[in-house]
A and B are shown apart, each in its own frame.
Chain A
């Protein structure tokens, strides 16, 4: 029989052949896809109207075919059943007009009838709904929660001596200085990379390399250009002493409260040396072994709350220092550069300064300079 290209609907009169799935001589089942054609709007699979052997394919891939053209000739062979005999020319003409019999199925050939999706003869296993439900399981959770929260009494405690010291120092600081905080995200991609590359080497030498030594080194370089940022401000006498040495106080979170050990002459350390010194004083702080000397004489302060997941804060001045630099948790920032979007590691910096001796403009310039120093550090 001749396989006439059917009307595929959508007002399409012609289509381009994009794929032929069968060869001359191969057998094809009824509803099996012979080829795929591309219309203005879609790719349509054209299924065979009959089962047989393809004796002729009149088109090749890329050809344009019109409705009514002969697409292929199918030899129906001997196993043809009665109702699939070759239609007379008149019947064929009707078939191409009557879209029903010939239009391409958009589905797999074997699903063109839904008899196989009939569940009327399906026998399931027997099933009984269990005696559980969402509400009940939630109720159990709520009950156990109530048990643990019942019967705890409010307790009033005296402050420890450490807490008393922290409290009075913080209140003095806020009472006698005018504090302002600037916040800025600084790209530290180079430092991030350097640390990744150097970490293992440092570990071999027994050094735990964090980001803190990098920041201390860059801050020292910046303070050299801005001497009032590395200074002692006596608010009672209204005197400012700019320091030529760099004694860096580091705020350390300990089980006993805030401790602030000082790294003396921090300008003399290299990267690993600084890292070692930080580890040493932090350990002493945690062991509550710091002597008075090790907690006094700082010229500026760093607060590293980033390691605990905070991004920004308003650090309180560790008076008589004039700045307290808060370093937040590192983050990623997308930056548009020359039509590209790049991702950079950034450090959120919160710089608190004593407005008594430093103006906002100077603080802004300090942060810009710190940016440069961090960029040029490695």
Chain B
């Protein structure tokens, strides 16, 4: 019996990875004694000591900067950034050093590390705690961007990402940290962190989502198929850099209709990129233009208006229905 929530699956994955690999170092604000702001690293310091799990000063630049040093010297650092909105002071380190160390040294050095960041809205917090800025990271060459959506993918993808020679931004959907419980294998297992997951194969419409919105999309689908027995194909994107276009294009060509659901600001977003690429490559097989359900081009509102910003079940259902009837 290993029924875990997302946050617990991450904790278990970290624990098992640290047990197997002595080079893994966990660092971040309050990750040690406190076990992390969301309790993802609970028990790790007790088990592996203060040298492998340690609290840092409040400086994201310091966290990622020192992780670069660790990485270049053979360690495998796992950084925790408390909230997505706090990462920007460390962004300089990411874009100028982490992502281009391999290219800059012409392959002599590599800089693998895992930067764990809770992302997205839905917990009624302030704007720095709720943003969905994954496209910014996907835009930069030299770093993988991976997003789990439930306990099973959280553990499997995290363990896979830790094997990469390249750095990974691991964006954790904080809205569903504790909302989804699932029975998952207790022993370590890996899911390809560069490949999309087709949860259900179908011929009528392709639905692509990830993170917390994947869960929201599934809720909408459960409702829709009560009355419309549509033959949908559901894809969990998982890897936002690189994007698994083989899977995406094959599906788009097969169904001719694609719905994309995420919670980002849509302009220049991940959904825009997917839409452009699908149109450029699959237009001859499309029946209708790609449809997107996203957030809006505003700073994510405070809690009273947050639910109006995030794609709701109603908005997803409307888009789905329009596309099905197109």
Least CB distance from A93 to B in Å reads 15
Least CB distance from B310 to A in Å reads 13
The 9 closest A-B pairs by CB, nearest first: A107-B179, A124-B231, A125-B229, A127-B231, A127-B204, A99-B39, A117-B218, A119-B200, A42-B125
Least CB distance from B259 to A in Å reads 15
Pair B125/A103 contact, Cβ less than 8 Å = no
Pair A113/B181 contact, Cβ less than 8 Å = yes
Chain A interface residue count: which class? Answer: 35 or more
Asked if B268 is an interface residue, CB under 8 A from chain A, the answer is no
Mask of B278-289 contacts with A, CB within 8 angstroms, 1/0:
000001111111
Dominant SS among interface residues on chain A: loop
Asked if A133 is an interface residue, CB under 8 A from chain B, the answer is yes
Mask of B19-47 contacts with A, CB within 8 angstroms, 1/0:
00000000000100011011100100000
Q: Which residues of A contact B7 (CB under 8 A)?
A: 99-100
Pair A135/B126 contact, Cβ less than 8 Å = no
Q: Which residues of B contact A128 (CB under 8 A)?
A: 203
Distance, CA A103 to CA B42, complexed state (A): 13
- Out of B123, B175, B225, B284, name the residue touching A135 (CB < 8 Å): B284
Residue of A nearest to B205 (CB): A127
| Beyond known contacts A113-B182, A133-B285, A134-B286: 14 more, CB 8 A cutoff | A9-B38, A98-B42, A100-B5, A103-B5, A103-B178, A106-B123, A106-B178, A107-B175, A111-B180, A119-B200, A124-B232, A127-B202, A129-B204, A134-B288
Q: Which residues of B contact A237 (CB under 8 A)?
A: none
Pair B203/A127 contact, Cβ less than 8 Å = yes
Asked if B297 is an interface residue, CB under 8 A from chain A, the answer is no
Pair A105/B202 contact, Cβ less than 8 Å = no
Pair A116/B222 contact, Cβ less than 8 Å = yes
Least CB distance from B128 to A in Å reads 10
Distance, CA A134 to CA B283, complexed state (A): 7
Asked if B122 is an interface residue, CB under 8 A from chain A, the answer is yes
Pair A11/B203 contact, Cβ less than 8 Å = no
- Out of B38, B199, B256, name the residue touching A129 (CB < 8 Å): B256
Pair A129/B255 contact, Cβ less than 8 Å = yes
Residues of chain A having any CB pair with chain B under 8 Å: 7, 9-11, 41-43, 98-100, 103-107, 111-114, 116-117, 119-120, 122-130, 132-135
Distance, CA A123 to CA B226, complexed state (A): 11
Least CB distance from A216 to B in Å reads 48
Distance, CA A126 to CA B229, complexed state (A): 9
**Residue picked from A98, A114, A120, A128, most chain B C-beta under 10 Å:** A114
Pairs across A and B, CB under 8 Å, 23 listed: A11-B34, A41-B126, A42-B129, A99-B35, A103-B39, A104-B178, A106-B176, A107-B178, A112-B181, A114-B218, A116-B222, A117-B218, A117-B222, A124-B230, A124-B232, A127-B202, A127-B231, A129-B203, A129-B204, A129-B254, A134-B286, A134-B287, A135-B284
Distance, CA A135 to CA B287, complexed state (A): 9
Pair A132/B287 contact, Cβ less than 8 Å = yes
Q: Which residues of B contact A100 (CB under 8 A)?
A: 4-5, 7-8
Mask of B218-247 contacts with A, CB within 8 angstroms, 1/0:
110110010001111010000000000000
Distance, CA A99 to CA B178, complexed state (A): 10
Pair B175/A106 contact, Cβ less than 8 Å = yes
Q: When A100-B5, A117-B219 are in contact, do A111 and B179 touch as well, CB less than 8 Å? A: yes
Q: Which residues of A contact B176 (CB under 8 A)?
A: 106-107
Residue of B nearest to A134 (CB): B286
Pair B124/A42 contact, Cβ less than 8 Å = yes
Pair A43/B124 contact, Cβ less than 8 Å = yes
Pair B222/A7 contact, Cβ less than 8 Å = no
Asked if B72 is an interface residue, CB under 8 A from chain A, the answer is no
Asked if B303 is an interface residue, CB under 8 A from chain A, the answer is yes
Distance, CA A285 to CA B38, complexed state (A): 81
Asked if B177 is an interface residue, CB under 8 A from chain A, the answer is yes
Distance, CA A46 to CA B42, complexed state (A): 21
Pair B39/A9 contact, Cβ less than 8 Å = yes
Pair B284/A133 contact, Cβ less than 8 Å = yes
Q: Which residues of A contact B229 (CB under 8 A)?
A: 123-125
Distance, CA A113 to CA B180, complexed state (A): 5
Least CB distance from B26 to A in Å reads 17
Least CB distance from B127 to A in Å reads 12
Distance, CA A133 to CA B284, complexed state (A): 7
Residue of A nearest to B279 (CB): A134
Q: Which residues of A contact B35 (CB under 8 A)?
A: 99
Q: Which residues of B contact A106 (CB under 8 A)?
A: 122-123, 175-179
Asked if B48 is an interface residue, CB under 8 A from chain A, the answer is no
Asked if B215 is an interface residue, CB under 8 A from chain A, the answer is yes
Pair B38/A10 contact, Cβ less than 8 Å = yes
Asked if B150 is an interface residue, CB under 8 A from chain A, the answer is yes
Distance, CA A99 to CA B11, complexed state (A): 11
Distance, CA A124 to CA B234, complexed state (A): 13
Q: Which residues of A contact B129 (CB under 8 A)?
A: 41-42
Residue of A nearest to B288 (CB): A134
Residue of A nearest to B149 (CB): A114
Residue of A nearest to B228 (CB): A125
**Residue picked from B181, B202, B283, most chain A C-beta under 10 Å:** B181
Least CB distance from B118 to A in Å reads 10
Residue of B nearest to A108 (CB): B179
Residue of A nearest to B234 (CB): A119
